[in-house]
Amino acid sequence: MTDLKDIKAFAFDVDGIFTDGSVLALDNGDLLRIFNAKDSFSVRTAVMNGFPVAIITGGCSESIISRFNSLGIPASDIYQMSKNKLPDLLHFCKRHNLDISQVIFAGDDVPDVAAIKAAGLGICPKDACVECQEAADVVSDFCGGRRFVRDIVERTLRSQDKWLFDPEQPWGFSYREEVNSAQFKSGRYVE
């Protein structure tokens, strides 16, 4: 098991990790998910402090891309329709010149087991399936979608003295465009 001080990147499943696993199916086939704001803030903070983050999910929707782009994760690090997460995790490592031992992988169900075992630190929420709990280096005290992501990201960044937030730095890659678009809806003008 890798020490938190040696971690250089994060990789996450989505459903059951950022969410409690619940989805609302729309008529158009898209699935709506509820994300915890504290989990999202921690991912933004990690990205702002130079940590590459991968999203590796069996799901597939524009809403996944949109959500994680808004946290600063580029589309090239969002792997959708991933049936076996390990090849996508290895691709992410290669793209960022990382050894797999430098990456935390978080998953909660059977398709995540191989990636949990291979990562430097494989973690799962306390409500993960038995196979994930047996494979994981760490079983969190938190459930998916309930500060699970925040806990592991914040602990990792704090161990490296990188739990830093710069209010002057943009949130994500398209932050300025998002603000310009949203300001008219909210009535708030941001320069």
Instruction: Return the CATH number at 130.
Output: 3.40.50.1000
Averaged pLDDT for residues 53-61:
93
Specify the pLDDT at position 28.
84
> Does some domain include residue 175?
no
Least confident of 31-35, 88-92, 171-175: 171-175
Mean pLDDT (the chain) is 88
Confidence of residue 69 (pLDDT cuts 50, 70, 90): very high
The tally of domains found in the chain comes to 1
- Which residue range is the domain that position 33 belongs to? 4-165
Q: Residue 187: inside a domain, yes or no? A: no
pLDDT in tens, 113-159: 999 999 999 999 999 999 999 999 999 999 999 999 999 999 999 99
Residue 69: count other Cβ atoms within 10 Å of its Cβ: 17
Mean pLDDT on 102-117: 97
* pTM passes above 0.75: yes
